[in-house]
Amino acid sequence: MAKFKRVLIKLSGEALAGLKGEGFDFSTAVKVSKQIKKLIEQGIEVSIVIGGGNFWRGRNSESMDRTKADQIGMLATVMNSLYMAEICRLQGLKSIVQTPFQIGTITEQFNKDKALSHMKNNTVVFFAGGTGHPFFSTDTSAVLRGCEIEADILLFAKNIDGVYDSDPKVNNEAKKFTKLSFKDILDKQLKVIDGTAASLCMEQNIPILIFKLDTEDGIIKAAYGENIGTLITN
């Protein structure tokens, strides 16, 4: 089976919350960390971006100033990464959290060379804090970091097993796509990743696999090139 050499995994905050829908779900986090351990043991370089939707989404913050609301969201992503990095450590893995802004001694500041050197040294690198700027999402920061570290593929683990032509929760006739192009995502305005992220992927020609986090060995299968969801390419 083909395997990728360097992957970036994007976990949505909601997926990390498991069935609870908010906060952390320990058993989900442990399942994820066990899979990451297997990838590292197989010599795959692993980096991770985690969303913050299990705590806070800036765009849902009603009357609050959007910049401030987004800053809270970015800090939520830092909490998620610190949590997951510790769960990885419990599995005996080395992990580090990098952020685009300084948080004293808690994280390391994002640096491509350092990130690559950590990954080559079998350390899982978490890119937390999004892009460091409001009005962006962690989908976009995942694509941005993926481009910067020259990941072979972006593995987006979500609460849904791929991209559908309509909402499968509402329409039981909804059809799942196994393959799509970034142009399809943009033209059809499919909501699965945001437009900024899709445009950057298209421009940089970096594939994304969208799959369900709660799939037996889903992360491992995805890193070995199995299309277990929807593969989006140019």
Q: Residues in the site for ligand UDP, rule: CB under 6 A? A: 12-14, 51-53, 57-59, 69-70, 73-74, 76-77, 130-131, 133-134, 136-139, 141
What phi, psi does 36 have (nearest 5°)? Answer: -65, -40
Q: How far is the CB of 41 from ligand UDP (least distance, A)?
A: 27
Q: State CA 106 to chain mean position distance.
A: 21
Tell me how many degrees the CA angle 138-142-143 measures, rounded to the nearest 5.
120
Q: To the nearest whole angstrom, how small is the minimum distance from the Cβ of residue 137 to ligand UDP? A: 4
Q: Which residue is nearest to ligand UDP (CB)?
A: 51
CB of 33 to ligand UDP, least distance (A): 18
In whole angstroms, the minimum distance from the beta carbon of 47 to ligand UDP comes to 16
In the complex with ligand UDP, the residue whose CB is nearer, 33 or 141, is 141
Considering the complex, what minimum distance in angstroms separates the CB of residue 122 from ligand UDP?
26
Do residues 154 and 201 touch, judged by C-beta distance below 8 A? yes
- Coil, strand or helix at 137: coil
What SS3 class is residue 173? Answer: coil
Buried/exposed code over 11-23 (b: 16+ C-beta within 10 A; e: otherwise) = bbbbbbbbeeeee
Nearer to ligand UDP among residue 51 and residue 229 (C-beta): 51
Pick the closest to residue 91 from 38, 128, 148 (CA basis): 38
